[in-house]
Amino acid sequence: MKSNNIGVDVEKAIKSIRHDKIFILTDKNTHIHCYQFIKNTPSISEAKLITIPADDSNKTIDNLSKVWEELTHNGATRHSLLINLGGGMVTDLGGFAAATFKRGIKYINIPTTLLGAVDAAVGGKTGINFAGFKNEIGAFYPSEQVIISTEFFHTLSHEAILSGYAEMIKHALIHSSSDLDKLLTFPLDNIDFSQLNELLFRSVGIKRGIVDQDPFEKNIRKALNLGHTTAHAFESFAIAQQRPIPHGYAVAWGIIVELYLSLRICNFPQDKLQKTIRFIQQNYGAFNIGCDDYETLFEIAKHDKKNQGDKINFTLLSAIGNVRIDQIAEKELIFEAFDFYRDSVGL
């Protein structure tokens, strides 16, 4: 749902869902900066608020357990409603809490970040990080509704905008050159939020169209994994080194690696590769890795959920909008792609 008045739309959404009690999940940041936008909504005046620590490093089983405990201690039933107010960490963890509590309760996602709006809040993927790996435990469990309001985006840092924007670039790459050109020429240094809103809903529409065809990722939904095999390896590696990176930045850097693999395996056009990489270079900086880190990154990538046995499975492109799922890259070529990434970002 595209929202022009977040309070009115939250009220309407709640009234459309049969429930007994209402619970609202926030992190410490969204509690301070975003809860104020909905706290006077009549239907949630007596809702129980659950708050967990912020950022993706807290998407853990401990915080999941805290949500379960709060639901249990405050009398939640199978007919209760959970509202997730936050970025991707909150919607992922909250969705998984809803999927598993009493074998499933209904929930609403209200993403407060561009990344949450374009990625985590749409499509029903829920989960937590576990044992040092991104999204290792989870379930497909769609929300009843997703309410997207750009009111929240004005509170975001430039880094947070860029993090969501990388997922929008991914959606354009798997869809069409015209969508990609619009994103690569959008002035991120002087953001027109009304125009960003239109680009966002175009991007959400691309993702929704794919998810509707393949809700449980048996086939074409794997297109949405472009850039993510590498991105999740970068993120897990960064967390282990206690230098966490934003998810969208990891996706941007992962796109560099996987477009190079697309070039080498699927003959992706070099001019399109260079154009996309140039944009990423100019806006996302670099995640510092050395040759000595390749083996560790490779071993992390072997844990990716998309793999078949010990082979690392990628989603690649033969052209913009022409997706090749279930592509296997050999170790030597993956290391070559890491070299290409380091050269591209100036390491």
User: Boundaries of CATH 1.20.1090.10 in the chain?
Assistant: 158-345
Q: Are 179 and 202 in contact (CB under 8 A)?
A: yes
The arithmetic mean of pLDDT across residues 216-229, rounded, is 94
The arithmetic mean of pLDDT across residues 260-273, rounded, is 98
How far apart (Å, rounded) are the C-alpha atoms in residues 6 and 149?
Answer: 6
Q: What are phi and psi of 221, to 5 degrees?
A: -60, -20
**pLDDT value of position 1:** 64
Q: Which residues on neighbouring strands pair with residue 137, listed in sequence order?
A: 128
Residue type, 301: A
Q: pLDDT, tens digit, for every residue of 164-188?
A: 999 999 999 999 999 999 999 999 9
Q: Are 103 and 43 in contact (CB under 8 A)?
A: no
| CA trace torsion 200, 208, 60, 70 (10° rounding) | 100
The pTM for the full model equals 0.90
68-72 long-range contacts, Cβ below 8 Å, gap at least 24? 68/97, 68/100, 68/101, 70/23, 71/23, 71/97, 71/101
DSSP string of 180-249? HHHHHTS-TTS--HHHHHHHHHHHHHHHHHHHHH-TT-SSGGGGGGTTHHHHHHHHHHHHHTT----HHH
Work out the burial of residue 167: count CB atoms within 10 Å of its CB; fewer than 13 is exposed, 13-18 middle, 19 or more buried: buried
Does residue 161 register a pLDDT over 70?
Answer: yes
**Could you say which of 2.40.40.20, 2.60.40.10, 3.40.50.1970, 3.20.20.140 is the CATH number of the domain covering 6-155?**
3.40.50.1970
Does residue 157 register a pLDDT over 90?
Answer: yes
Please, what sign has the CA dihedral across residues 95, 239, 284, 316?
negative
DSSP string of 124-135? SEEEEEETTEEE
How far apart (Å, rounded) are the C-alpha atoms in residues 177 and 185?
Answer: 12
- Cα R_g (the chain), whole angstroms: 20
How far apart (Å, rounded) are the C-alpha atoms in residues 289 and 325?
Answer: 27
The arithmetic mean of pLDDT across residues 124-131, rounded, is 94
User: Boundaries of CATH 3.40.50.1970 in the chain?
Assistant: 6-155
Per-residue pLDDT band at 39 (split at 50, 70, 90): very high
CA 107 → CA 31, 32, 74, 94, 239, distances in Å?
18, 21, 17, 8, 29
**pLDDT value of position 3:** 63
Which has the closest alpha carbon to 162: 124, 189, 194?
189
Give all strands of the β-sheet with 22-27 in edge-to-edge order. 48-52, 22-27, 81-86, 106-111, 145-146
Q: pLDDT, tens digit, for every residue of 56-111?
A: 989 999 999 999 999 999 999 999 999 999 999 999 999 999 999 999 999 999 99
**pLDDT value of position 154:** 86
CA 310 → CA 26, 153, 186, 329, distances in Å?
38, 41, 40, 11
How far apart (Å, rounded) are the C-alpha atoms in residues 206 and 187?
Answer: 22
Q: pLDDT, tens digit, for every residue of 287-343?
A: 999 999 999 999 999 887 677 667 899 999 999 999 999 999 999 999 999 999 999
Which has the closest alpha carbon to 284: 184, 171, 195?
184
Antiparallel, parallel or unpaired: β 48-52 and 322-328: unpaired
Q: Are 27 and 50 in contact (CB under 8 A)?
A: no
Which has the closest alpha carbon to 336: 260, 232, 268, 263?
260
Does residue 193 register a pLDDT over 80?
Answer: yes
**Could you say which of 3.50.30.60, 1.20.1090.10, 1.10.3720.10, 1.20.1740.10 is the CATH number of the domain covering 158-345?**
1.20.1090.10
